[in-house]
Structure 1
Amino acid sequence: MMLMIRGKRSRMQAVTEQSSVTQLELFFDLVLVFAFTQVHGLAEHETTAVNMLRAFLVLAIMWWVWIAYAWLGNVVKADEGIARLALFGAMGAALIVAITIPEAFHDMPGGWFGPLVFALAYLFIRLVHLVMFWCASAQDPQLRGQVTRWAIGSITIGTTLLIIAALNHGTTQLWLWIAAVAGDMAWTLFSGNEWRVNSTSHFAERHGLIVIIALGESVVSIGVGVAGLPISWPIAVGSILGLAVSFLLWWAYFDVGAAVVEEHLAGASGERQIKIARNCYTYWHFPMVVGIIAMSLGLKYVLEYLGGAEEHTLHDALHGIPLFALYGGAAGYLLALVGFRHYATKVVLWPRLVAAVVILALVPLASILPAMAALAVLCAALGALIAWETVRYAGPREQVRHPATH
């Protein structure tokens, strides 16, 4: 199907079931790489509960930027015709949003008014997305109706409240941000199930890549934590332990789970398919990303302790927000994986539920251990979970990973 906009060279080309993620979409994702780093910086600026909430809200906004174009990229090819220019324009605005993250709540002296720049750049991203979806639905009345219903509330709630928040401060500003994020997500959930998933393989691959990007941020955090410090055995061992934790989180998603849910997405149709796409990917992937980014923050602090940065010693223990970010992030990620799998398959992954509870229960112990020991305990807990699942479910795992041989 070809969607005419203006002239032959301006056509938007529909995504087919055989389509894969385009290079331009991967280029767009580079903005998210930078945004995740900026969220880290915002969270580190002040380790208080309120500031962690601010970082979470900013991450939610960046997630909504990414998810909007993930859905659009599954309807029209991102690198064809006018869609290419639209995606580049959105990418430019997303870069401005990412650059402005340190000023999202408080304006810095000099220059433009940061909070308003953040909100207006976000508005531009959402409007480009809406126009492109409106054009893409020109020959699809059902999709056009869905886009209209969604736009009436989503654009109004998500962007207007952020603009108003930019002109306020303190508690009022924070509540407006919460209302903007929660209202946008809720409206999208209840605005209808008549979206389109043209390619289930593209859709699943796209979301798998954002998990990889988030895990990449955890690896970067290890490097940033020891940047400028001389190599030593604590840094070497701590770095390997941190990488092992990231690897185990990768395994928990990609070994079997991602393939199982993709299979159910491909096998569903109509509203059920849209619900799996929306709930499993749009909603359950968000806490996965939040968990990874939180864990990355904890990893950075661990490596700083091991390197003796900021007057810390090898024997110091993690405490407070850095400790909970490390352990809570890993536990939250596992819980999100349970929800992701359950919605699509109706199967509850009890070992992961138990592992998440155990990890949270280990926080008091980790708070009195040296930082490296706390990281080793987390790595051991995750390793035990993966080893148990690999042995206990060896048969079903083999069938999922190598279906052609069965």
Structure 2
Amino acid sequence: MSQSSHPSSVWYRPMLARHAGEDHRTASALELFFDLCFVAAVAQTSSAFEHEIGTGRALHGLLGYALVFFAIWWAWMNFTWFASAYDTDDVPYRVLTLVQITGALVMAAGAAQALEHGDFTVITWGYVIMRLAMVTQWLRAAYTDRQRRGSALRYALGILVLQIGWLVRLLLPHDTGLVSFAVLAVGELAVPVWAERAVGTTWHPQHIAERYGLFTLIVLGESVMAAGLAVRTALDTHQETGSVMAIALGGVLTVFALWWLYFAQDAPRRLRAQSTAMLWGYGHYAVFASAAAVGAALAVNVAHATGHTALTGVQAAAMYTVPVALFITCVWFLHRRAAQGSGKAGVVSPVAALAVLATTFVPCTVLCTGAIASLMMGAHLFTARRGRQEH
């Protein structure tokens, strides 16, 4: 019997590693709740990013967005991989997960302040709350899973030391903020590489692929919602209705194509070796960040069409085409070794990404981007069908 099949009222059970080949391993209700609470942080960050772009501070907003989204992504990713290996679903596990959710909500409350004013105090405390709860989870794993105790202790030690570093960073002069952030971020990225060298944890390929897919769905859905609100506001004021509707149609076509592209891949097939899994997991920072940025960029383009932003037409267009092209390129890169069909299928995504970037300098950028993204998916389907017929 798998651990997930035990009654949910169990107070405590030993935190032993779950089998990597466990049948019917799916995301739990707690994991889904965890993701939904993280959406608050994503939404607040995207909204603040949109505000910075709209006020003409695109570079400042982009830097803040990259930093804040790193904290969101990294905290989410660490919980996801830990849960794939050690989800006991007992009372201590649930309580510690709820503590992490509390930290995510604190991060959401501080996202705008960090992005717009460079004040990372609130978001740092939210992040530390989440990570200290994760230290406790790893110590539980070290106590009961003797075979992987070395890895669990490395995780706990590395995370704990870095949380002290994040709190010390709040006391440093403001002009050292970017350098100290970079140093600590590199340390965060290095912890799993160092810890997994002891004894690898038993993450489940299908479970991990599903978790990442679900979060991609949530982020793309957030983009649709943000764009929908912007379109509704524009239509309520009866300004540039034709331009706004063209942006809405292009946005819908784009998001549909990005969804199709992502889920057309065979992710579990990619997640076989530890090295490729690390690359796949780390690469999703760009996938998630670009997907969330699409929604903010749609809202910015609606604001530009109605004359409510200081950006030029090319600048507003670039804020949309760059994250779309980045999403397409990252998905292609992360899955290129598992691509199906003929060799010609491998060039479709890079060519589409270049075409999307080229639409930055043409009228109706969002609509043209949606058309190119739709043609990209048609080309993928065509080449995949031909490949199956030849095979």
- TM-score class, shorter: 0.7 to 0.9
Residue 345 (structure 1) shift: 6.8
Deviations 1:263-319 (A, max 9, x none): 343xx3xxx2x3333221x2121111111122222111122234x25279xxx9633
Q: Residue 88 of structure 1 corresponds to which residue in structure 2?
A: 98
Q: Residue 22 of structure 1 corresponds to which residue in structure 2?
A: 28
Q: Residue 57 of structure 1 corresponds to which residue in structure 2?
A: 67
1:106 and 1:42, CA in 2 relative to 1: closer, same or farther beyond 3 A?
closer
Contact 1:197 1:203 in 2 (8 A): no
Q: Residue 208 of structure 1 corresponds to which residue in structure 2?
A: 213
Residue type of the alignment partner of 2:326:
G
Q: Distance in 1 between matches of 2:314 and 2:171?
A: 35
Contact 1:279 1:343 in 2 (8 A): no
1:20 and 1:30, CA in 2 relative to 1: closer, same or farther beyond 3 A?
same
Q: Distance in 1 between matches of 2:309 and 2:330?
A: 36
Q: Residue 332 of structure 2 corresponds to which residue in structure 1?
A: 338
SS of 1:393 mapped into structure 2: helix
Of 347, 350, 354, which residue of structure 1 is paired with 2:347?
Answer: 350
1:199 and 1:329, CA in 2 relative to 1: closer, same or farther beyond 3 A?
same
Residue 262 (structure 1) shift: 0.9
Unmatched 5+ stretches in structure 2: 4-8
Is 1:10 the counterpart of 2:16? The answer is no
SS of 2:196 mapped into structure 1: coil
1:145 and 1:59, CA in 2 relative to 1: closer, same or farther beyond 3 A?
same
Contact 1:57 1:178 in 2 (8 A): no
Q: Distance in 2 between matches of 1:143 and 1:398?
A: 46
Q: Residue 392 of structure 1 corresponds to which residue in structure 2?
A: 383
Is 1:128 the counterpart of 2:133? The answer is yes
Residue type of the alignment partner of 1:19:
R
Contact 2:41 2:108 in 1 (8 A): yes
Deviations 1:351-404 (A, max 9, x none): 2122223322443x23xx2xxx111221122122111111122155799xxxxx
Is 1:290 the counterpart of 2:300? The answer is no
Residue 12 (structure 1) shift: 5.3
Is 1:103 the counterpart of 2:94? The answer is no
* TM-score, normalising length: structure 1: 0.81
Of 195, 198, 201, which residue of structure 2 is paired with 1:196?
Answer: 201
Residue type of the alignment partner of 1:374:
T
Q: Distance in 1 between matches of 2:143 and 2:337?
A: 32
Contact 2:293 2:323 in 1 (8 A): yes
Contact 1:154 1:183 in 2 (8 A): no
Q: Distance in 2 between matches of 1:303 and 1:262?
A: 38
Residue type of the alignment partner of 1:37:
A
Q: Distance in 1 between matches of 2:250 and 2:101?
A: 35
Contact 1:241 1:375 in 2 (8 A): yes
Within a 5 Å distance, the mapping from 1:3-402 to structure 2 comes to 9-11=11-13, 15=18, 17=22, 18-46=24-52, 47-77=57-87, 79-104=89-114, 115-157=120-162, 159-168=163-172, 170-193=174-197, 194-230=199-235, 232-255=241-264, 257=265, 260-265=266-271, 268=272, 272=273, 274-280=274-280, 282-306=281-305, 308=306, 310=308, 318-320=313-315, 322-342=316-336, 349-363=346-360, 365-366=361-362, 369=363, 373-396=364-387
Point out which structure has higher relative CO (alpha carbons under 8 A, 6+ apart): 2
1:42 and 1:326, CA in 2 relative to 1: closer, same or farther beyond 3 A?
same
Residue type of the alignment partner of 2:205:
T
* Worse-superposed segment, 45-54 or 185-194: 185-194
* Worse-superposed segment, 52-61 or 168-177: 168-177
Contact 2:64 2:116 in 1 (8 A): no
Q: Distance in 2 between matches of 1:78 and 1:235?
A: 49
Q: Distance in 1 between matches of 2:61 and 2:168?
A: 20
1:395 and 1:223, CA in 2 relative to 1: closer, same or farther beyond 3 A?
same
Q: How many residues align?
A: 370
1:340 and 1:70, CA in 2 relative to 1: closer, same or farther beyond 3 A?
same
Contact 2:27 2:210 in 1 (8 A): yes
Deviations 1:70-125 (A, max 9, x none): 012112336433211111111012111111112236779xxxxx633322331121
* TM-score, normalising length: structure 2: 0.84
Contact 1:390 1:397 in 2 (8 A): no
RMSD over equivalenced CA pairs, Å: 3.1
Q: Distance in 2 between matches of 1:251 and 1:336?
A: 14
Residue 239 (structure 1) shift: 1.5
Contact 1:38 1:101 in 2 (8 A): yes
Deviations 1:129-166 (A, max 9, x none): 12112212434334221122334334423x33432332
1:155 and 1:105, CA in 2 relative to 1: closer, same or farther beyond 3 A?
farther
Q: Distance in 1 between matches of 2:130 and 2:157?
A: 16
SS of 1:284 mapped into structure 2: helix
Contact 2:209 2:268 in 1 (8 A): yes
Deviations 1:30-62 (A, max 9, x none): 222111111113223433313311111100100
1:345 and 1:136, CA in 2 relative to 1: closer, same or farther beyond 3 A?
farther
Unmatched 5+ stretches in structure 1: 109-113, 400-405
Contact 1:100 1:118 in 2 (8 A): yes
Identity %: 22
Deviations 1:150-200 (A, max 9, x none): 34334423x334323323454311222222223311343344343323432
